[in-house]
Amino acid sequence: MPTHRVLYLLGPENVELRLEPIPQPAAGQVLLHLDAATTCGTDLKVYRRGGHPTMLSAPCPFGHEMTGTLAAVGSGVTGWREGDAVVVANSASCGQCRFCRAGRENLCTHLLYLNGAFADYLLVPETFVRRSTYARPAGLEPALAAMTEPLACVFHGLSAGDLEDPTECIVLGAGPIGLMFVAELAHRGNHVILGDLVPQRLDVGRLLGASETVLVSGDRDGGDKLRAATEREQGAQLVIEATGSPAAWSNAMGAVATGGEVLLFGGCAPGTTAELDTHRLHYSEITVKGVYHHRPATVQAALDRLAGGDLHLENLLQERCTLDGVEGALGRMASREILKAVVST
Ligand SMILES: [Zn+2]
Ligand SMILES: [Zn+2]
Ligand minimally distant from the alpha carbon of residue 131: 2
Please give the pLDDT value at position 282.
95
What is the 301 CA–ligand 2 centroid distance (Å)?
A: 20
What is the 316 CA–ligand 1 centroid distance (Å)?
A: 13
What is the 281 CA–ligand 1 centroid distance (Å)?
A: 31
Ligand minimally distant from the alpha carbon of residue 45: 1
Residues of the chain with pLDDT under 50: none
Please give the pLDDT value at position 164.
73
Please give the pLDDT value at position 197.
92
What is the 112 CA–ligand 2 centroid distance (Å)?
A: 10
Please give the pLDDT value at position 268.
85
What is the 304 CA–ligand 2 centroid distance (Å)?
A: 24
What is the 152 CA–ligand 2 centroid distance (Å)?
A: 18
Look at residues 246, 251, 248 and name the one whose alpha carbon lies nearest to residue 277.
251
What is the 257 CA–ligand 1 centroid distance (Å)?
A: 30
Please give the pLDDT value at position 269.
81
What is the 120 CA–ligand 1 centroid distance (Å)?
A: 19
In order of 36, 76, 108, 292, the CA distances from 318 in angstroms are 14, 41, 34, 26
What is the 104 CA–ligand 2 centroid distance (Å)?
A: 8
Determine the angle formed by the axes of helices 296-308 and 148-160, rounding to 10 degrees: 120
Indicate the average pLDDT of the chain.
Answer: 95
Ligand minimally distant from the alpha carbon of residue 106: 2
Alpha carbon distance 178, 197 (integer Å):
13
Q: What are the tens digits of pLDDT across the range 243-254? A: 988 989 999 999
What is the 131 CA–ligand 2 centroid distance (Å)?
A: 11
Please give the pLDDT value at position 161.
82
Please give the pLDDT value at position 165.
79
Q: How many residues does the chain have?
A: 345
Please give the pLDDT value at position 106.
97
What is the 302 CA–ligand 2 centroid distance (Å)?
A: 21
- The contacts of residue 324 (CB under 8 Å, 6+ apart) are 17
What is the 153 CA–ligand 2 centroid distance (Å)?
A: 18
What is the 296 CA–ligand 2 centroid distance (Å)?
A: 12
Alpha carbon distance 17, 282 (integer Å):
53
What is the 98 CA–ligand 2 centroid distance (Å)?
A: 7
| The pTM of the whole model exceeds 0.85 | yes
* Domains parsed from the chain with CATH numbers: 3-146+312-343 (3.90.180.10), 152-290 (3.40.50.720)
What is the 43 CA–ligand 1 centroid distance (Å)?
A: 7
Please give the pLDDT value at position 263.
96
Parallel, antiparallel, or unpaired: how do β-strands 168-172 and 191-196 relate?
Answer: parallel
